[in-house]
Amino acid sequence: MGLFSKLFSKNKKSEPAPKERDVFTIKVGDIVTYDLVDYEVVGKITYRSGNYEWYSYQLLEGKNTVWLAAEMDDELELGIYNKITFPVSKPFPKELSHEGKTYYFDESGMARIIGEGRSANLQGSEVEYAEYVDEDEEGSISLEVWGSEVEVSVGYPIESYEIKIMAGSL
């Protein structure tokens, strides 16, 4: 090894390559490409109900925010959700109508929250949730009760090949 090789090898820090990500290991700071748009992951919510866990990632592009939901039920389920203004209160109805579609009650429950990034303020919270699906299961409405506020999101399923994940950090 020559003198220059020794100098450069000492000054060059070997940084490990970022690990490959999948929809369950996405981190705040990663980039998710969906529908030809690059989004930065600015928040992550992990929901835990008993031994079951699922995730929502807050994706930001400019001023546009969407949520990517990921869960492993019998198979991988992914969805894109957008928050909407929609008046709904408890007790939740058996069905909801939005933009000419009817959504039917599917499931509800309570979950403990782990929040990261912009969602860090939710850490340790508990949320009541309810899910509704349309007749074709091509659309869904998600309700989450945060204190006295009911947050409503409308979404649709996507396939894993429709997104690309680029690690932003280790």
In a domain, 8, yes or no: no
pLDDT band at residue 148 using 50, 70 and 90 as cut-offs: confident
CA 122 centroid distance within chain:
14
Give the separation between CA 153 and CA 146, rounded to whole angstroms. 13
Domain range for 127 is 17-166
In a domain, 65, yes or no: yes
Share of the chain above pLDDT 70, in %: 88
The partner residues of 151 in beta bridges, in order of sequence, read 144
Is the pTM for the entire model greater than 0.75? yes
Give tens-digit pLDDT for 93-113: 999 999 999 999 999 999 999
- What's phi and psi for 27, nearest 5 deg? -120, 155
Give the separation between CA 20 and CA 166, rounded to whole angstroms. 8
Helices vs strands, H then E, count in the chain:
1, 11
What is the number of structural domains in the chain? 1
Give the separation between CA 70 and CA 47, rounded to whole angstroms. 11
8 A C-beta contact, residue 31 and residue 166: yes
In a domain, 66, yes or no: yes
In a domain, 7, yes or no: no
7 CB-near residues (< 8 Å, 6+ apart) = none
